Amino acid sequence: MIRRLLLSFFLLSSTYLSVSAQQQPRLQWSINDSWKYLPQGADFAQRPKSDDSKWQSVNIPHTWNAKDPFDDDETSRRDISWYRKRLLLDQRFRNKKIYLNFEGAYQVADVYVNGVFAGQHKGGYTAFTLDITHLVKLGDSPAENLIAVQLNNAQDNFIPPLSIGYASYGGIYRDAWLISTNKLHYKLLDHGSSGIFISTPRVDSTAALVNIRGTVNNDDEVERKLEMLHLIYDARGKEISRIHKSYTVAAGREMVFALDLPEIRKPELWSPDKPYLYTVKSQLLENGQIIDELNNPLGFRWYSFDANKGFSLNGKKLVLKGTNRHQDMKDHGDALSAEDHYRDLKLIKDMGCNFLRLAHYPQAPEVLKLADRLGLLIWEEIPLVNYMNPVPEFLKNSKIMIREMIRQNYNHPSVIIWGSMNEVLLWSEKAERIQVQENAEYVSKVKRYAKQLDSTVRAEDPYRYSTMAMHMGDDYDKYGLSDIPQLASYNIYNGWYSGKAAEFKSIIDEKHHQNPKQVLFISEYGAEADNRVNTEHPQRFDFTGQYQRMYHESYLSQIGQMPYLAGTAIWNQFDFSQPNVGGVSNNMNQKGMVTWDRKPKDSYYLYKANWNAEPMVYIASRDWTHRAGLAGNPSTIEVYSNLGEVTLRVNGVVVGTKKPDHIKKMVWKVNLKEGLNEISATGKSAAGLFNDHLVLNYKVYTAELERMPRPFTQLAVNVGSNTQYLDNSDHIWLEDRPYRSGGFGCTGGSPAMLNIKTVKKNTNDNPLFYTYQDDIKGYRFDVPDGTYDLELCFIEPDKIQAGERVFDVNVNGERLLEHLDLMAGYGFGVAVKKKYRISANGAGVQVAFKAIRGKAVLSGIKLKAVL
Ligand code: GCB
C-alpha cells in the first residue's frame, strides 16, 4: 500500500516508462510534460539532490522569452536557465539502448543525467539525440532518473545567428522524447537524423528508382545476424515494393548499407496540387522477429531550375508562388504547438502558395511533415544571417548545422532547396552597414567560407539545389559570391527601404541580362502594414495596409512579366518580433500578410484572389472600421475577387458592376453617409453566389468647422501624418492638414517621421508618435467660444543633447509650456502627452510654438469640448 502511494506520488511529477517484451522494436515517448524550470543559472542544479521544489512547473514546448523577446529591452533575458525532469524507469529497460531526443532547444544545451554530463548541443534550430544508456538507473520498483538541462540563449560569437533582426527565444521550445531500442538498431547518433536516407535518383511518370542508405549499430557484445527489410507502401497502405537482405554485424560495430529497390512502375507523382505520399518502412529482423522499425515519407517528383525557363516540376513549368515564415507568434514566442504549425501552414496554402522559405532557420519537424502532406515546396536554410564571424570555429559550427539540417530532413519530398546564408555582405558585427570596399579581408574570408558551406550542402545532398540569399546591388557579383550556389536568390525592397516598387522588374531584368546563365530567385520582397493606420493617399513607409497592398499589387503584376524568374517569396507571411525597431509598433516587423496573432491582413486576400482558384470576393481596408472624411470627398472602396464580375452595393443601393483587372482588383469611389454604412460586394461563379460584407462607421467633417453636421465635440489629429490613426478606444486621429480659415490645421514646418529603428517608450499610441511636424509654428482650430481640453503629444525624435531643442508653447496668447526641452525632461524617443483646460473667446483655439533653440515639434493634438 505504501509503495503504491509512493509511486502515485512520484507519478504526479515524474514520467513512468516501461517496456514489455525484451525484443520489442523501438519505442518513443513524449517527455514534454512536468518539467521544473529555473530562470537563472545555479550551481550544481544537475545534481539529483539539489532542491527544485520551488522551481516553476512547466510543460514543453516552453520559452522564457514568450513575452519579452526584444533584445535591448531591459526585460528580455539572454542568459542561462535550467530545466529538470524526473523519469521512472523499470527493469524492463535492461538490455535496451536509451536515448534522449530534443527537437529544438535554444541555443547551447548541456544535458546531464543523474548528475553526470551526457552531452552538449550548440544551435537552437536543429534536433539532437544523446545516448544515455550508461547513465540511467533501472529499478524493480521503477528507479527515479533526473534529466537536467542547462540552457543558454546568450549571444555566442561562434554560433550562428549573430546579427539577426529577429528574437532569440531561450527554451526547450520544441518536443522532447525518450527513445528506447534494442542493442541492434538503426543508427540514432547521426546528427539527430533518423539514420535512414532515401533518395530517388531517377523518376519519371513511367518508372522510379529508390535508393535507401543508412547505418545499423550493433551495441551488443556479440556478433549479430540480421535480416533487413525495406517496404514501400502507397497512400492506401498497399505494399508496392520491397527489398530484403541478410547481414552479420560484428560486436560493438556499425554497418553502413546502400540498397537500390526494384524499379517502381508508374509511380503516383508528388506535387503541390496532388501531394501523393508513399511510406518507406525499414525493419531489422532477427529470427523472424522485428527488432527495429522506422517509417519515413517518400514522394516521387523530379524538378529542375533553368536560367531562362525558371522552375519545372515533373516535366512541367511551375511558377513558384511563395512566402517566408518566421516561427514565432504573439504570447507563444517560438514555443508553438503542432496545432499552431498546422494553422500557419494552412494559412499559407490557402493563400495559394506552392512554395515556402523557412527563414531564417530549420523549423520544427512537424512543419516539414505538414509541407509534405499539404503540398508546399520548401527552401530550408541555416541561421547564418546578416553577419558571419570569419573564424574556423564559426565555420565548423555552421557546417555541423548544415549536416544536421540536411540529414534530419533529407527524406521530405517537399524540400527542394537548401540555403547556406542570408545577406552576409550587408550588416557588420555592430549592425552597421558594411562598406564592402573597405572590408576586403572580411569579404575574401566570406567568399572562402561561402564556398565551403555551399560544397558541404552539395556533398550532403547532390539531389537538391543550393542557394544563398543576397541583398540587392552588385557586391555579390563583383566579389564572386553570387555564382557560388546553384541558385542566385535576391532580397529586394525597392518601394520600401528605398526607391519605388515599380523599379523591381527593371532591376531584376538587368541582373538577368548581366548574368544570363544564373538562375534567379526572389527570396524576399515586402512592405509593412499595421491595421491601426489607414489612408486614402498611401505613401512609402506610412505603414498603412493601403500602401502594403499598392506595393504588393505592383510586385505581383511585374512578377507576371518575368518568365525567366524561378520563383518569388513574400517577406513575410506573418508579422514577427524584431528587436530594436520602432516603426508604428515597437520591436515588430510588420511585413506580414498575417498579423502576429494570426489575423490575415488585406494583402493576404490580394494574393488569395490571384493564386487560389477557389471563388472568393473580399472588400479591402477591412480594419478601417471607423473612418472620417471631408464632406463631399468620396471614399475609395477596393475589392479583390477571382470571379467574372462583382456588384458593389452601399447601404442597399447598387453602385456598379465591374470585372476584376489583371491583379483581380476593382475600385469604386462612393459617398458614405454620417454613421453606419453597409458595404457589400457580390459575384457569381458556377458554384453559386459569393458575397462579402462590411459595416463602416463614418464621420463627416467639414473644412469649415461651423458647417459640421453635428455640434463640435472633439477633433484629434495625427500631426505630420497622411494617415488616420484609430486608437484603442476607436477614436480617429485624422490625417494632418494645413490650416485654412474657418477650419483647423497646422501652420509652418514640414511632415517628418522618426527613424524606423526608434523604439518609442511610454506609450500605447505608437503610430501617433511615429510621425510629427518638424519646425511647427502653430496649430489652429476655428471652434466656437467655450471651454476645451487640449492635449498635446510630443516626442524627441533625434538623438541630440539636452538644450539643443527648446521651445515655448502658447495658447491664445497665454504661455502653456515654457522652455520645453524634451531631451532634458524625458529623453530620446519618450512619448509625452500634456493636457490643459483652456477657453476660446472669439478667435478659436490658436496654439503657437516658439523655438528658442532648434526646431519645435508636435506629434498629435486633440481638442475636446467640455460640455
Ligand atoms: C531582409 C532580411 C530579413 C529582414 C528583412 C526586413 O533582407 O533578410 O531578415 O527581416 O530584410 O524586413 O528588413
Complete DSSP assignment for 366-419: HHHHHHHHHT-EEEEE-S-BS----SHHHHHHHHHHHHHHHHHHTT-TTEEEEE
Kindly tell me the burial class for residue 44, based on how many C-beta atoms sit within 10 Å of its own C-beta (0-12, 13-18, 19 or more): exposed
User: Is residue 571 a part of any domain in this protein?
Assistant: no
Q: Is the dihedral of CA 678, 683, 684, 690 positive or negative?
A: negative
> Rounded CA gap, 554 and 550, in Å?
6
Q: Quick one: 166 and 224 in the same domain?
A: no
Short-list 437, 512, 439, CA closest to 478: 437
Dihedral, CA of residue 357, residue 359, residue 363 and residue 369, to nearest 10: -10
CATH of the domain at 54: 2.60.120.260
- Which residue, 381, 219, 202, 372, is CA-closest to 297? 372
pLDDT at residue 433, as a whole number: 80
Among protein residues, the one with the nearest Cα to ligand 1's atom 7 is: 491
- My answer on whether 739 and 798 are in the same domain is yes
49 with 140, same domain? yes
Mutate to test the pocket of ligand 1, among 381, 386, 433, 491 (most ligand atoms within 8 A of CB): 491
Q: Which residue has the cell 530532413?
A: 409
The CATH code of the domain that includes 221 is: 2.60.40.10
* Number of domain units in the chain: 4
Q: Beta strand 771-774 with 750-753: parallel, antiparallel or unpaired?
A: antiparallel
Residue 161 within any structural domain of the chain: yes
Residues of the chain with pLDDT below 50 are: 1-12, 21
Q: Are residues 132 and 31 in the same domain?
A: yes
* One domain for residues 765 and 672: no
Half-sphere exposure of 533 (CA within 13 A, CB side): 29
- Tell me if 163 CB under 6 Å of ligand 1: no
Q: Same domain, yes or no, for 671 and 740? A: no
Ligand 1 atom index nearest CA of 469: 8
Q: Fill in the DSSP letter of residue 561.
A: T
Tally of CB atoms within 10 A around 514? 10
Ligand 1 atom closest to the Cα of residue 491 is 7
Residues 678 and 724 in one domain: no
How far apart CA 326 and CA 692 sit, in angstroms, is: 30
Whole-angstrom Cα distance, residue 798 to residue 805?
10
- The ipTM value here is 0.99
Q: Which atom of ligand 1 is nearest to the CA of 523?
A: 8
Answer yes or no: do 165 and 206 share one domain. Answer: no
Ligand 1 mutation target, pool 524, 577, 590, 593, most atoms within 8 A of CB: 524
Q: Which of 298, 333, 354 is where one domain is finished?
A: 298
Query: Is there an atom of ligand 1 within 6 Å of 589 CB?
Result: yes
For residue 618, CA distances in Å to 615, 637, 639, 648 come to 10, 11, 6, 11
On whether both 58 and 157 belong to a single domain, the answer is yes
101 and 163: one domain?
Answer: yes
Q: Of 571, 398, 443, nearest to 496 (Cα)?
A: 571
State whether the Cα torsion 209-210-213-219 is positive or negative.
Answer: negative
Q: Is residue 596 part of a domain?
A: no
Cell numbers of 369, please?
Answer: 511533415
Q: Which atom of ligand 1 is nearest to the CA of 528?
A: 12
State which of 268, 298, 328 marks the end of a domain. 298
- Asked if 668 and 795 sit in the same domain, the reply is no
pLDDT score for 235:
98
Kindly state if the Cβ of 381 falls inside 6 Å of ligand 1. no
Specify whether the backbone of 436 is left (phi greater than 0), alpha (psi in -120 to 50) or beta: alpha
Q: In Å, what is the CA distance from 779 to each residue of 351, 404, 597, 773?
A: 45, 61, 38, 11
Q: Is residue 610 one of the residues assigned to a domain?
A: no
Regarding the beta carbon of 571 and ligand 1, being less than 6 Å apart is answered: yes
Are residue 91 and residue 163 in the same domain, yes or no?
yes
Cβ(423) to ligand 1 under 6 A? Answer: yes
Q: Residue 498 Cα, ligand 1 centroid: separation in angstroms?
A: 14
> Within a domain: residue 812?
yes
- Whole-number pLDDT of residue 6: 37
Phi/psi at 523 (5° precision):
-90, -20
Atom of ligand 1 nearest to the CA of 497: 13
| Domain-ending residue, one of 118, 153, 186 | 186
175 in any annotated domain: yes
- Can you list the alpha helix ranges (DSSP code H) found in 479-624? 504-514, 545-559, 602-611
Domain that holds residue 212: 196-298
In angstroms, what is the span from residue 470 Cα to ligand 1's centroid? Answer: 11
User: Is there a contact between 816 and 849 (Cβ–Cβ < 8 Å)?
Assistant: no
Inside any domain, residue 242? yes
> What is the CATH classification number for the domain harbouring 783?
2.60.120.430
Residue 593 lies in a domain: no
